[in-house]
Structure 1
Amino acid sequence: MSMRFGIMASHQWPFDEDLRRHVDELVELVQLAEQLGYDSTWVINHFVSNLATPQPISMAAKLIENTERITVGTGILLLPFFHPVHIAEEFATLDQFSGGRVVLGVAAGYREHEFEAFGIDIDERFKRLDEGIRIIRALWSGERVSFDGEIWSFTDQRIGVPPLSPGGPPIWVGAGGRHAVRRAARLGDAWYAPGNAPSPRYLAKHTAIYDEALAEYGRRAAERPLGVELYCAPTTAQAIEEALPHARREYHTYAEYPALAWQRDRFDELVANTLLLGSPEDLIERIRGYRALGFDHLIFRPFWLGMPMAQARASIRLFAEEVMPVLRAEAG
């Protein structure tokens, strides 16, 4: 089983900071990651956020334009807020522009105020996700499509830009709970698993649920991606000292949303069970545990609010030089 590595292009910053400077620095970080041999980079999606958050299609296009080899994906696009015909057209266009190195990662969303801003019933989000994925896949066939659903209906339509990749880019589905993980098995090419659940038993339990659902639906996963938080330094003590204050600030900012309020009270659990802050040797051991569960594409956020970009560059360089070769060699 091969091992791939990617970085989250975490494009969200305080409103009073220079957005254009931050974006330029982020592009340079992604270019460095490509030079260092990383396989992928992932853009994020939120609306009416408490941080300045450029939108994912624009960010993906910018990263495609400024890279040559690396896969550019959404991690994650909140599909219920978009019309699926729009997304089918946009990502077919990105697939063409990138030479076939795009992944559409989608999820249902969870922040209540986003649904309120769009005038969408939050209870419809899974239905919108389900119908949206099925419509996008059908349109990426290049054929004329008719669809009669509970949310969307249309007759005899064909998208104006066909994807470069046969059948369109891969679709990854982000999911947390049992039913959502089963949905990812039914609809997605991969389950984009969250690595920041506070319970150390979460991943093993939900990987088993995913595998059972794949068998039930007669499907197989194209990849096994896992999203984590990671910082690499010469010693674990140095990694914690340099990264922990910034990670705490970011998680406490997330905790302003009711659905994530628990992260403030349980931050110490997150640190112990999910934040990968360590030396190359410690990170190798922890990632081996994820690989033993079947995960083969590790994607990590390389910095948090307020962290100097020089530290993020040093971290991804050290990880690329001392961690990635060991894990890739072991994976064969």
Structure 2
Amino acid sequence: MAIDLGLFLSDQHPPGRPPAEGVREHLEQVAAARELGYTSIWAGQHFLSQPFAMYQSIPMLARVAAEAEGMTVGAGVLLLTLLNPLEVAENVATLDAICDGRFVLGVGFGYRDVENAAFGISTGRVATFEAKLDVVRRLLAGERVTARGEGYVLTDAELALRSERPPPIWMAANGDRAVQRAARLSDAWLVNPHTRLDELERQVGLFHAARAEAGLAPVTRMPVIKEICVAETDEAALAAARPYLEGKYDAYVAWGQSDVLPEGDTLRRAFAELTAGGRFVIGSPQTCAAILAEHVARLGVDHIICRAQWPGMPQEHVLRTLRLLAHEVAPRLGP
């Protein structure tokens, strides 16, 4: 089985850094990934992202697409619960045209109280998310849609801009019920980078069982996002990653990310324990290949989306990881 490599742009930066510098850095990463044979580029979404400064994904992906000709471009993910579904559908149709039909719509439920409050979402979040997803899917499929929800009223609405085929919808999920929701409502589960491998393996079983129970065909893609740092030795990789990855996960705990993990897992751990169990991929090419090979064998992964930078990490570390991952890690994972 051929393994695709993707690059997840870690578009969060320390506050006070000139914003244009980060954009130039990401464009350099995209150019390097394309040259190295990566097949996809991704960016995520958060609002009120303190303590980090963060770019919004729709304009970032539109700019990135100009440097990513021939590559898949994906939103990983849009926080659909918070957004107007008509605007999402129109933006996605535009991005799919910019990307010549190679756009993937990643969607997520969201988990941060500050974001929910800012957008006036307090109760009924699951129903809101599923209703908005239904509207987006039907609009992108070319249907006329009549629907009403918080912040939108559509009467026989139809997109004038449509692709020949609707972009695939991949759904992020952390907890078990969210994984089962992804099985029912999406074309693929966009496997998160926060959970230990043993828990992911258990959840993959839940995912496939939920699809079968819903009468759906098996998925054709199994993508996973991973935090990855590759260097010549394990020690060098850990030294490069720890100052930045540790700060990123301290922020995740403060945001509430740990609270939506599977019941048996937590991010409230010392760093050495946090890195264990296949959660992160840090080390020499041999070490990283062994960790990723386990993901391929145990989860059926066929698309590894690499997040190789965290706020403040120097660009040379990122480019080294991208190069070593392509040249020395990926060839060990199969044809």
Q: Could you tell me which residue of structure 1 aligns to residue 59 of structure 2?
A: 58
CA drift at 1:266: 4.5
Q: 1:283 aligns with which of 273, 276, 288?
A: 288
Aligned to 2:263: none
Asked if residue 268 in structure 1 is aligned to residue 269 in structure 2, the reply is: no
Contact 2:229/2:281 (CA < 8 Å) preserved in 1? Answer: yes
Query: Judging changes above 3 Å, is the alpha-carbon distance between structure 1 residues 17 and 171 closer, same or farther for their aligned structure 2 residues?
Result: same
Q: Separation in 2 of the partners of 1:56 and 1:177? A: 24
> 2:332 is paired with a residue of what secondary structure?
helix
Higher relative contact order (CA 8 A, sep 6+): 2
Equivalents in 2 of 1:76, 1:130: separation in Å?
A: 15
CA contact (8 A) 2:105 2:170 kept: yes
Shift of 1:195: 3.1
Counterpart Cα distance in 1 of 2:97 and 2:290: 39
Contact 2:190 / 2:223 at 8 angstroms: preserved in 1?
yes
Query: Following superposition, which runs of at least 4 residues in structure 1 exceed 4 angstroms of deviation?
Result: 148-153, 258-262
> In the aligned structure 2, how far is the partner of 1:82 from the partner of 1:214?
27
Residues 1:26 and 2:23 are matched in the alignment? no
Are the counterparts in 2 of residues 109 and 125 from structure 1 also a CA contact under 8 Å? Answer: no
Measure, in 2, the Cα distance between the counterparts of 1:37 and 1:294: 21
- The Cα of 1:160 is off from its aligned counterpart by 2.5
CA distance in 1, matches of 2:232, 2:316: 15
Deviations 1:133-191 (A, max 9, x none): 2111111122322236688553211012112x41x111000011111111101110100
How many residue pairs get aligned? The number is 325
User: Larger deviation: 142-151 or 287-296?
Assistant: 142-151
Whether 1:321 aligns to 2:327 is yes
* One-letter amino acid of the counterpart of residue 134, structure 2: R
8 A contact 1:175–1:194 mirrored in 2? yes
Describe how 1:221-240 pairs up with structure 2 within 5 A: 221-240=219-238
Letter in 2 for 1:71: T
Residue 203 of structure 1 pairs with residue 200 of structure 2: yes
Deviation at 1:314, TM superposition (A): 1.2
User: TM-score normalised to the size of structure 2?
Assistant: 0.92
Moved more, 216-225 or 36-45: 216-225
Aligned-partner Cα distance in 2 for 1:252–1:44: 18
Tell me the residue number matched to 1:115: 116
Task: Read off the aligned partner of 2:182 and give its amino acid letter.
Answer: A
Match of 1:312 in 2: 318
Q: Distance in 2 between matches of 1:258 and 1:207?
A: 23
8 A contact 2:128–2:149 mirrored in 1: no
Partner of 1:216: 213
**C-alpha offsets along residues 118-144 of structure 1, whole Å, 9 cap, x if unaligned?**
1111x4322222112211111112232
Partner of 1:169: 167
Question: Is 1:17 paired with 2:17?
Answer: yes
Give the fraction of aligned pairs with identical amino acids, expressed as a percent: 37
Q: Displacement, 1:250?
A: 1.7
Q: TM-score, normalised by structure 1?
A: 0.93
SS in 2 for 1:263: coil
Q: What's the offset of the Cα at 1:254?
A: 2.7
When residues 194 and 139 of structure 1 are mapped into structure 2, their CA distance, relative to the original with a 3 A threshold, is: same
Gaps of 5+ in 2: 260-265
Whether the 8 Å contact between 2:14 and 2:312 is mirrored in structure 1 is no
The answer on whether the counterparts of 2:41 and 2:68 sit within 8 Å (CA) in structure 1 is: no
Q: Is the 8 Å Cα contact of residues 234 and 283 (structure 2) preserved in structure 1?
A: yes
1:77-88 equivalences in 2 (<5 Å): 77-88=78-89
Structure 1 residue aligned with 2:188, among 190, 203, 207? 190
Structure 1's unaligned 5+ residue stretches are none
Superposed CA deviations along residues 272-291 of structure 1, whole A, max 9, x for unmatched, are 12111111111111111111
Amino acid at match of 2:235: A
Measure how far apart 1:264 and its partner are: 4.8
Q: For 1:219-269, what per-residue CA distance to the aligned partner results, in whole angstroms no more than 9, with x for missing partners?
A: 221310111100111111211122122211222233332454863544333
CA RMSD of superposed structures (Å): 1.8
Shift of 1:205: 0.9
Which residue in 2 is equivalent to 1:179? Answer: 177
Counterpart of 2:244 in structure 1 is 246
